[in-house]
Amino acid sequence: MPMKYPVTPDGRYFVVRGRLWRTSNPDLGEAERDLLVKQLMTARRDIALARRSHDGDAEKQARGRVDAAKIALGERGPVWWTDGAPDHNRKMAVNSPYADWYSALQKPDPAA
């Protein structure tokens, strides 16, 4: 499935409203990724159900499952790359090493 948000050249982040968000670990197998995404989506639905029923304990448990799935996907927790580069997750792209790349995306294409 193609990403609708720009992805950094190294594939570590995608950008939403100027903020970097860590991508999933590309080394996960398709079956493992599918299972984790299903668990994530189920937990997110459970948060909504718990909120509608005003069940704080159920919401807390569901949020824990969301966090666990995101960690397993590599979107949170320890970084999935091995070159020692720091994590810039949730940072503004303009305040990161990706600033020049992001600025170039914002400029209109003169050929258009």
How does pLDDT run across 41-79, given as a tens digit for each residue? Answer: 999 999 999 999 999 999 999 999 999 999 999 999 999
**Considering the entire predicted model, what is its pTM?**
0.85
CA 79 to chain CA centroid, nearest Å = 12
Mean pLDDT of the chain: 94
- Which pLDDT belongs to residue 80? 97
For the cut 90, the answer to whether the pLDDT of residue 106 exceeds it is no
pLDDT for the residue 1: 46
Residue 48 makes CB contacts below 8 A (sequence gap 6+) with none
Mean pLDDT of 93-101: 96
DSSP string, 66-112: HHHHHHHHTSSSS-S--S-PPP-TTSBGGGSTTHHHHHHHHSPPTT-
Average pLDDT, integer, range 102-111: 78
CA quadruple 89, 91, 97, 102: dihedral positive or negative?
A: positive
Domain ranges of the chain: 1-23+85-112, 27-74
